[in-house]
Chains A and B, each alone.
Chain A
Amino acid sequence: DIQMTHSPSSLSASVGDRLTITCRASQSISRYLNWYQQKPGEAPKLLIYAASSLQSGVPSRFSGSGSGTDFTLTISSLQPEDFATYYCQQSYITPWTFGQGTKVEIK
Chain B
Amino acid sequence: GENVEQHPSTLSVQEGDSAVIKCTYSDSASNYFPWYKQELGKRPQLIIDIRSNVGEKKDQRIAVTLNKTAKHFSLHITETQPEDSAVYFCAASYNNDMRFGAGTRLTVKP
Are A and B part of the same complex? no
